[in-house]
Amino acid sequence: MHPYRSSTGLGFAIGSVRHRLPGKILRSDQDGRLCGSVGVSVLVRLFMVLVDLAVFPISSSGEAQLSSARGASTMAEPEPTEELPPIGGDPHNAVQMRPVRTTYGEDIPAGGYVVKMAKSAPLSDLKAAMAQKLSISEDTITFAYEGEEMDEKKTIKDNGIPEPGPAARRAGARVELQFLIRAGVEIGAQRARREAAEAAEEAERLRVEEEALRRKEEEEKRVKMEEEQKMAAKRKADAEAELRRQEEARRNNRCVLRCLEIGGGGGKELVTASNLTVMEVARQLCRELNMLRDEEHQGGIVLLHNGQPLPGRQTLQDAGIRDNDEVYYFWGEGGEAAATVEAEAPCKPKQETSKRQQKKQVLRDARQERKGEKKLQKQVEALEAALAALDGCLKEHLGDVGHDRADRATRDALLEAFGATGCRYQELPPVHGPCPAEGLRLLGSCLLRPQRYNAKFLPQEYSLLHKVWSLVGGDTKRCGVLDIGAGNANCAVLAAALLGLTVICVERESPRKELRAEEQLPTALKGKVIRIEADIADFDTAALASLACRHDLDRFVLLAKHPCGIGVDRSIEMAVQLRRSSRLPASERQPPTLLGVVIATCCTNKLSLDDFRESRVEEFCAMYADPTGTRSKTLALVRAVEVMSRCSAWRSASASLGNAITSQQVSWAELFEDHLQSLRLKRLSTAFGASVEVRFAPRECTLQDRCLLAAESSVPEAIYASSDPAFLQQLTRGVRELSEAAGGPLDCRPKGLKSAKYDFDYTDD
């Protein structure tokens, strides 16, 4: 027997080495288990080498001097380990688990982990403790002993691992196992570091984003402040320009009136402006004369010129009052005065307001002022945008794009595109009919209608009736009126009952029967008003000739009161066709002669968008287009007319409550309508020989006060006359005869309707 193998010390030394040194992995080719005999021989040889190196000196009795070996080992720096909580109770083994890989650095101690593990505990308990310590899943840990994987369900002993004896345990011997963590698995410490790094990275990203957002907000705030400063400077400049314009307008419109009290002596020289309304002038006069309404003095100041009361909403210029004219005034007791001064409430002790209330009032006033400034700025921008769009269209239409004439003024471009206007709106003559006070009294006595309704519509009807009378020369025999868009036929009934004319009413959609004025006529007169339901575009000369033959009519006047938008142009087209047909050869059937046209135009803005939400601009342009024009020019003209049509609404909107329409917008709107009206006038002149435009009704009755007149050779001078005795005599006779036949005024109240504007409610009738 070999001396080392027979020695007890040799056996202990081999056991010590076996427990302290990692075994070399030696596998057979058959079943992969460690070859025991080979392993023993290797250990023996290793032990002999250690003896030669004096690590394990052998005594004479063959016993290894382990104390020296243990002393040498204690001199070396021990590898750091970390102890785990005990697993189970006694008896136990001291187990040390070393990592196979060292890629985890300081996260796993170099010496691994040590634990006191009950001998009866399976390795799965050890695996669970390791998984909990490393914060990983149990299935990612594998244990090995001398290169062999172990059964986790078994204990250390059952896995064939020798357990240290009592002496070895007292000497600190441990069962050394190796553990391997699956590649790519992240242990708890690594995960915590990664999450901390990601949190820090996310915090940095958020900090950078917040910093970028802060810089962006500061930049936006700076840009907004600069824009507000620019806008404030622009508003200030615009306000100063507006003040200068108003001051210049005051200087240009300065007017001195000599105000005389009726029945009084002397007079008052009043310095005012011709662009102010009569109501504003009356208030100015009241303030200067200290004539204010109170409990004892009701009513208001009434101004008269040339014996006629001046309408309150009419300007001095529109009323025909010039500088140094004499104006009479009196205080009208009771009733409604043409111009009144609002009553001032009796003076009451003014309650003192607190500083807080004053501050609130200041803030309210400031908000209202800013709101007004915003509305004004919006209108200024709308005007600029409209003029810019119009400039582009007109330059394309006139071929100025890219040429030296591209800087052509808008007004000049309009003049070249549409031709010269016959007369500017502000220069149109007011033609309201002869002796309006007497005429309106006669006309109002034969109709029963709400007072405000009469105040609005009666002056319009009176003016149109006189124009029709003048075109027929006062001769109504075998003469008729073609009333386009007759509506409830109030004007048609007056023409038939008072002037003796036969009226053909063409209406696309008639109102309810109880709202038709012709239903109120006496039986003998009902045949004088004929209602035809048709669109003007569908009512041709053949239909008119048939009706004229049936009612023995050989002359006509075309009348249209406020046809909206394209309705004006279709009425003109109807008149042109009637004029052409009247020149047919004698062998063909002769239609009635069209003596002239009376068209009160309305709503030019509805060319771009009518009641059916459709644009009629192309139809308008087709009626007045130059036959030699190119397609590109026609399209450019269409776009120009579209802009002009929309902007013409500025003038109508200027009378609405709370509007911010500027005087420049009103001026441009009037100019746009002037040019569009000039096209209509030219076509009427071509068809008839003469055409003019007048203002047919007071502004307080309607803002749509333009009226086109056409007649053969020339428009009768009687239309402009301030007095027409024959016409008034005919009205007087007609009113008397109608009253006798009908037993009183005609009941033309709008039954079944209600209106706060005109102050009536006939819903129960």
> Which of 482, 454, 676 lies closest to 560 in space, CA to CA?
482
- Domain range for 410 is 355-418
Residue 146 phi, psi dihedral angles, 5° rounding = 50, 45
One domain for residues 105 and 197: no
Looking at the structure, tell me whether residues 610 and 716 fall in a common domain: yes
Same domain, 487 and 610: yes
Report yes or no on 342 lying in a domain. no
Position 535 in a domain: yes
259 - beta bridge partners? 268, 327
**Residue given tokens 């009908």 in the structure block:** 742
CA distance 462 to 47: 141
CATH number at residue 257: 3.10.20.90
Higher pLDDT, 276 or 557: 557
Nearest to 320 by CA among 180, 432, 164, 241: 432
**Number of domains the chain contains:** 6
Same domain flag for 119 and 161: yes
Mean pLDDT of 688-704: 92
**Cα gap 22→46, rounded to integer Å:** 12
Q: Please provide the DSSP assignment of 251-262 as one string.
A: HHTEEEEEEEET
Helices (H) and strands (E) in the chain, counts: 21, 22
| Whether 34 contacts 24, CB under 8 Å | no
Burial level of 275, CB count in 10 A (0-12/13-18/19+)?
A: middle
Q: Which of 52, 58, 45, 42 is nearest to 8 (CA)?
A: 58
> What are the b/e assignments for 245-272, b being 16+ CB within 10 Å?
eeeeeeeebebebebbeeeeeeeeebeb
- Amino acid 586: pLDDT: 52
Q: Are 452 and 599 in the same domain?
A: yes
Going by pLDDT thresholds of 50, 70 and 90, the confidence category of residue 264 is low
Residue 411 and residue 518 in one domain: no
Question: Quick one: pLDDT at residue 294?
Answer: 59
Residue 104 lies in a domain: yes
Q: Is 177 exposed, middle or buried (0-12, 13-18, 19+ CB in 10 A)?
A: buried
The pLDDT of residue 588 is 52
Stretch 119-143: mean pLDDT, rounded?
A: 87
The predicted-structure confidence for 382-409, as pLDDT tens digits, reads as follows 999 999 999 989 888 887 654 444 445 8
Distance CA 27, CA 35 (A): 6
Same domain, residue pair 264 and 238: no
**Helix or strand holding residue 480 (H, E):** strand 479-484
Q: How confident is the model at residue 26 (pLDDT cuts 50, 70, 90)?
A: very low
Is there a single domain that holds both residue 587 and residue 725?
yes
Average pLDDT over residues 112-133: 88
Query: CB–CB of 529/493 below 8 Å?
Result: yes
Q: Which of 127, 156, 185 is the last residue of a domain?
A: 185
Mean per-residue pLDDT, 76-96: 83
Query: How crowded is residue 735: how many other Cβ atoms within 10 Å of its Cβ?
Result: 21
As a whole-number percent, the residues of the chain with pLDDT over 90 amount to: 37
DSSP 376-427: HHHHHHHHHHHHHHHHHHHHHHHT-TTSGGGG--HHHHHHHHH---SS-GGG
Asked if pLDDT for residue 52 goes beyond 80, the answer is no
* 349 in a structural domain: no
Distance from C-alpha of 598 to C-alpha of 587, rounded to nearest angstrom: 31
Q: What share of the chain is helix, strand, coil (3-state, %, to 5)?
A: 45, 15, 35
Which residue's structure tokens are 């914060």?
A: 135
Strand, helix or coil at 516?
coil
CB crowding 656-672: b at 16 or more within 10 Å, else e: eeeebbbeebbebbbbb
The verdict on 400 and 519 lying in the same domain is: no
Write down the residue that tokens 């709106």 correspond to: 425
Do 539 and 667 reside in the same domain of the chain?
Answer: yes
CA atoms of 474 and 716, how far apart (whole Å): 11
Does residue 343 belong to any structural domain of this protein? no
Percentage of the chain beyond pLDDT 70 is 81
- The answer to whether residue 96 sits within a structural domain is yes
The reported pLDDT for the residue numbered 486 is 93
pLDDT of 373 higher than 90: no
Give the end of a domain, one of 14, 49, 75. Answer: 75
pLDDT tier at 169 (50, 70, 90 boundaries)? confident
SS3 assignment for 428-444:
CCECCCCCHHHHHHHHH
In this structure, the answer to whether residues 26 and 119 fall within a common structural domain is no
For the chain, how big is the Rg over CA atoms in Å? 55
Q: For residue 511, what are the contacts with CB-CB under 8 A and spacing of at least 6?
A: 487, 488
| pLDDT given at position 266 | 62
Residue 56 is predicted with a pLDDT of 42
- Please indicate, yes or no, if residue 350 is contained in any of the structural domains: no
pLDDT digits over 521-572, tens only?
Answer: 999 999 999 999 998 888 888 889 999 999 999 999 999 999 999 999 999 9
Whether the predicted pLDDT of 335 surpasses 50: no
Does some domain include residue 670? yes
* pLDDT tens digit sequence for 518-535: 999 999 999 999 999 998
At residue 451, the pLDDT reads: 86
pTM (two decimals): 0.57
Q: Of the candidates 270, 297, 332, which is a domain's last residue?
A: 332
In tens, the pLDDT along 620-674 reads: 999 988 654 444 457 888 999 999 999 999 998 887 767 788 889 999 999 999 9
696-716 CB burial, b ≥16 within 10 A, e <16: bbbbbbbebbbbbbbbeeebb
Q: pLDDT tens digit string along 466-522?
A: 999 999 999 999 999 999 999 999 999 999 999 999 999 999 999 999 999 999 999
Give the pLDDT of residue 178. 84
The overall average pLDDT reported for the chain is 80
Going from the C-alpha of 656 to that of each of 282, 373, 703, the distances in angstroms are: 22, 18, 11
Do 719 and 570 lie in a common domain? Answer: yes
Instruction: Using the predicted structure, report yes or no on whether residue 360 has a pLDDT greater than 70.
Output: yes
